[in-house]
Structure 1
């Protein structure tokens, strides 16, 4: 199942995207159900996750009745899509997780090509960085001369846990989404750590949907790509990750509690702009589309400001 958050008549709604690009209003459907027995009506994906298994059971029951009744939904093209999750915490991110991306970054910075991390490199992006599908991304021309893109598979946590073992890691996953880790390379370099260069407002496009884990049998084998104005820049497979999804959850949760609705971006493949010869930066009007197999395409446009 593909869940999304959208706006209908100025009100937030939880939706389900069908294979024919129809959006079913789950908020309205659950509210109309006589036997949902939920403590509140979810109006976004975060609230659905907070409801746990009772929420998923209620959704499944409502969908069965919806299909039996032959009811129609909304056309995706007519829906205002919002960021799927309301972030209460920073977005967790993994740096340098694809071998070829590490090599291109090392060479661009004059380092030995085979200098690889021995442990996962974690950083975060603040909630103020998160925007949704088709939202504008600020150019921040007054702050940076080197705005870049990074297509990433993102894990969405569904169950609370600390010190999660590798074997139990996937039991804590609700589903997966797409993140574009927009990065100001000069700020990243200047400040000596990654938070400032990766934490600017609108620098974390996310969505357009969260796909339930049941629909993705193997998150470690998904095609991932990115285009700028239709030109292919990144193309790889999550099988190329040095640290896979269970390893990321295991290492991040060691001594640190993960909570429902937390998001973990898993790193980006080769093909980023700063490693091109010569380096290529994002400019106003650029249309950036990140695609992950079985999830969809996240598209955003660079604004002038």
Structure 2
């Protein structure tokens, strides 16, 4: 058995929850599952940190987040990490990245997301972001060694309730609603892709709304603060958010958002207003 390179968490046809590695490494698991195409994964024995790929095959019925709330200690997020995004938001470009947090209760996976009444009223916005998962505790690490602490990378959406975000000097509440941090479906092991050179795309109900490439700041976030194993870091969004458009383009009831990263695949969510 070997270490995994592409990890998914899923419910199999037998109703059991598994970790697995898609048999066809080139397949876009998110698109394949939502289209009804059968996707088979080799079961991963163990956990996300030290699991190994077995020969047992299981067909995926439903995709889950690759990292669970129990495995995630906190979600740390970078704000205004892309120059064009800062410009479209009419905000000064910060000397250091702006940091805010989402609670682990915000974590979600592919599929339908429930939108609370407080997040409705033309306030719900999307942010296409690369997320990384810390694989071992990191404190005061240098830029040269920063990537040694990364377990893997996945696609994410920094779902934001703009009314609450912009009415307060702290962004945490408006960005920390339940199911405001969907990630997945695939966690790519560090070393398999270049996180500084990935094409990305956000598509809302068939309309391409964001398109760019990536950056990182692990060393900065670890200065004086331990990034515990299981920490998720959202790396910031490029320009194209719905709030900055004229007219605004917010997420409506029943709309589908697809977030695609080169080498990772597509995170697909449908937003259901409660």
Q: TM-score, normalised by structure 1?
A: 0.79
For residue 140 of structure 1, report the CA deviation from its aligned partner.
Answer: 2.5
Corresponding residue number in structure 2 for 1:33: none
Corresponding residue number in structure 2 for 1:48: 48
Say whether residues 1:81 and 2:81 are aligned partners.
Answer: no
CA contact (8 A) 1:13 1:25 kept: no
Deviation readout 1:16-59 (Å, 9 max, x if unpaired): 123255432424xx4xxxxxxxxxxx3xxxx221x3xxx4xx43
For residue 259 of structure 1, report the CA deviation from its aligned partner.
Answer: 2.3
1:105 to 85, 89, 98: 89
Q: Which structure is higher in helix share?
A: 1
Quote the Cα distance in structure 1 between the aligned partners of 2:168 and 2:17. 38
For residue 144 of structure 1, report the CA deviation from its aligned partner.
Answer: 4.0
Alignment of 1:222-261 (within 5 A): 222-238=198-214, 244-245=215-216, 248-261=217-230
For residue 86 of structure 1, report the CA deviation from its aligned partner.
Answer: 1.6
Larger radius of gyration: 1
Q: Which structure is higher in strand share?
A: 2
For residue 75 of structure 1, report the CA deviation from its aligned partner.
Answer: 4.3
Say whether residues 1:16 and 2:33 are aligned partners.
Answer: no
Corresponding residue number in structure 1 for 2:133: 156
Alignment of 1:184-263 (within 5 A): 184-216=161-193, 218-238=194-214, 244-245=215-216, 248-263=217-232
Quote the Cα distance in structure 2 between the aligned partners of 1:272 and 1:141. 21
Corresponding residue number in structure 2 for 1:282: 251
Alignment of 1:47-66 (within 5 A): 47-49=47-49, 51=50, 55=51, 58-59=52-53, 62=54, 66=55
CA contact (8 A) 2:41 2:59 kept: no
CA contact (8 A) 1:151 1:181 kept: yes
Which secondary structure state, in structure 2, belongs to the residue aligned with residue 215 of structure 1? coil
Corresponding residue number in structure 2 for 1:5: 9
Quote the Cα distance in structure 2 between the aligned partners of 1:148 and 1:288. 11
For residue 85 of structure 1, report the CA deviation from its aligned partner.
Answer: 0.4
Corresponding residue number in structure 1 for 2:115: 139
Which structure 1 segments of 5+ residues have no match? 31-41, 239-243
CA contact (8 A) 1:83 1:132 kept: yes
1:124 to 91, 95, 101: 101
Which structure 2 segments of 5+ residues have no match? 30-38
Deviating 4+ runs (over 4 angstroms) = none
* Change in 2 beyond 3 A, CA 1:228/1:126: same
Corresponding residue number in structure 2 for 1:36: none
Which secondary structure state, in structure 1, belongs to the residue aligned with residue 48 of structure 2? helix
CA contact (8 A) 1:144 1:187 kept: no
Quote the Cα distance in structure 2 between the aligned partners of 1:165 and 1:293. 27
Quote the Cα distance in structure 1 between the aligned partners of 2:99 and 2:169. 14
* Change in 2 beyond 3 A, CA 1:157/1:233: same
